Amino acid sequence: MAVGKAMDWREGLDAGDLSSEVLVRASFERMRSLDGQLHAILAMDEDRSLRLAREADTRLRGGERSPMLGLPVVLKDNLHWSGLQVSCGSRIMNGYRAPYDATVVERLVAAGAVPVAKANLDEFAMGSSGEYSAFGPARNPWDTTRVPGGSSSGSVVAVSAGYAPLALGSDTGGSVRLPASFCNVTALRPTYGVLSRYGLTAMASSLDQVGPIGTSAADISLALGVMAGRDPMDSTSADLPGMERLAPLCPRNLKGLRIGLPREYFGEGLEPGVRSLLETALQVFTNQGAEIREVSLPHTRYAIDTYYLLCTSEVSSNLSRFDGIRYGHRAEAGSLPELIAETRNQGLGAEVKRRILLGAFCLSKGYYDAFYSKALKARTLIARDFDTVFKTVDVLATPVSPDTAFPFGAKTDDPLAMYLADAFTVTAPLAGIPCLSMPAGFTAGLPVGIQLIGPAFSDVMLLETAHAFQSLTRHHLDTPPISA
Ligand code: GLN
């Protein structure tokens, strides 16, 4: 049985027709039957999950009603859930166990949600396909010869294949939205700060955000509502306005909604099948009275360069903590400098090493002004583009990716081609603003997502807009043709 659709299970749990234990067992069953093919899962602790499920059942029987109570969730394996591994998809973390819970995990568990597994990912969340996991890639349930997208590959596959109704990923430059669009699920990257980063292994701290993944915007809202808001452990965290509108989420009235289409996202290189699905999706909005306006975000063409300069710079600094002393793997060596060098050499994969080198170079004396400091200025210009357009439109609609899921190996020999897969997803993170990906239909049998971007702290409005779309369409209800 696929354990999809949180809202359906919510009703069953609240009505007493279903128990969390039954649901969690079904989730394990689903993983056992399919994960040999899909490889989305890296670790589980069944006893602990079942214990949490029984606790949730006790709370339900006691009359407690709460959006996440009893629902299974899958966690990307760069989030800390105490006692379990946090592999980050890397060999260098071998043997490391989380000594504490990430704030988002702690809040989910306190709300009665049941983590059921830790999910596969690109090493340290660096990648767009899932292929940079040190433990082998997850596979796309719609076509197992293709990538699921990354870096939150396993989390997205887990939802798409019905392992659990909800999952958490992380999104630094597109890592929940790109795989969501490749696998026909819905994923939100909240406004920077809305979800605490405490206990999320840092990649590029000024860009990292946790992102909920589910079948629909309504489902995601259940999880967002119990996790969002200020956390004393993360000084960049912030409260989310309108949180009380998340459960249950109501569809936004689309009449008069001003939707901007940024010209720069609809140029050459957009696959015709993707373009035509986006046009059809936009008609769903205009049929309800939304207005479409063409807008321009002129600094978009600097986004990939800006993102990869800032991201690698922050990566080079953040990953210096993996030195063989404090975490996981430790190489045999004669001296301390050798131990550090050898541990990193053995423990880190090629893409991570490439980014550390690039980032260290960007930050080095003599090059700092030319690269890092210039990229910071470009970031400001990109953010200002968004400020300007949000004076005349309420949301932006764009493709998530120029194309559908690609075959394994298509971009692994060409790092630049892999980086370009992120052309439409890195801009909003640079501006810190919320964005989501939701299913828009299929071309040649493969899912296509549409991205909505809103002004800072418009997360709830974005979800309400997506919910309105999903109340009028059925793409998000299609499930992949996968069986045991
Ligand atoms: N694909 C982008 C990168 O490799 C984004 C990764 C992410 O969002 N974690 O940096």
- Rounded to the nearest whole angstrom, what is the distance from the C-alpha of residue 160 to the centroid of ligand 1? 20
pLDDT at 67: 96
* In a domain? residue 106: yes
pLDDT surpassing 80 at residue 1? no
List pLDDT tens digits, range 306-343: 999 999 999 999 999 999 999 999 999 999 999 999 99
Cα(309)–Cα(307) distance, integer angstroms: 6
Binned at pLDDT 50, 70 and 90, residue 373 comes out as very high
pLDDT at 3: 67
pLDDT at 346: 96
pLDDT at 5: 86
Binned at pLDDT 50, 70 and 90, residue 7 comes out as confident
* pTM score: 0.97
List alpha helices for 228-319, DSSP H: 272-287, 303-318
Average pLDDT on 409-422 reads: 88
Cα(413)–Cα(406) distance, integer angstroms: 14
* In a domain? residue 454: yes
- Rounded to the nearest whole angstrom, what is the distance from the C-alpha of residue 125 to the centroid of ligand 1? 6
* In a domain? residue 315: no
- Using the atom order of ligand 1, give the atom closest to the CA of residue 308: 10
Write the CATH number for 209: 3.90.1300.10
* In a domain? residue 189: yes
List pLDDT tens digits, range 167-214: 999 999 999 999 999 999 999 999 999 999 999 999 999 999 999 999
pLDDT at 301: 95
Cβ of 209 below 6 Å from ligand 1 = no
- Rounded to the nearest whole angstrom, what is the distance from the C-alpha of residue 126 to the centroid of ligand 1? 5
List pLDDT tens digits, range 71-107: 999 999 999 999 999 999 999 999 999 999 999 999 9
List pLDDT tens digits, range 136-146: 999 999 999 99
The count of other CB atoms within 10 Å of the CB of residue 223 is 30
Cβ-in-10-Å burial (0-12, 13-18, 19+) of 325 comes to exposed
pLDDT at 4: 65
* In a domain? residue 348: no
Q: How many domains does the chain have?
A: 1
Cα(202)–Cα(172) distance, integer angstroms: 10
Domain assignment of residue 418, given as a range: 5-264+278-296+384-477
* Active-site residue flag, 175: yes
Catalytic residue among 27, 49, 76, 170: 76
Mean pLDDT of the chain: 96
* In a domain? residue 367: no
* In a domain? residue 360: no
Question: Do the bridges between strand 291-295 and strand 258-262 make them parallel or antiparallel, or are there none, so unpaired?
Answer: parallel
* In a domain? residue 311: no
Cβ of 172 below 6 Å from ligand 1 = yes
Cβ of 126 below 6 Å from ligand 1 = yes
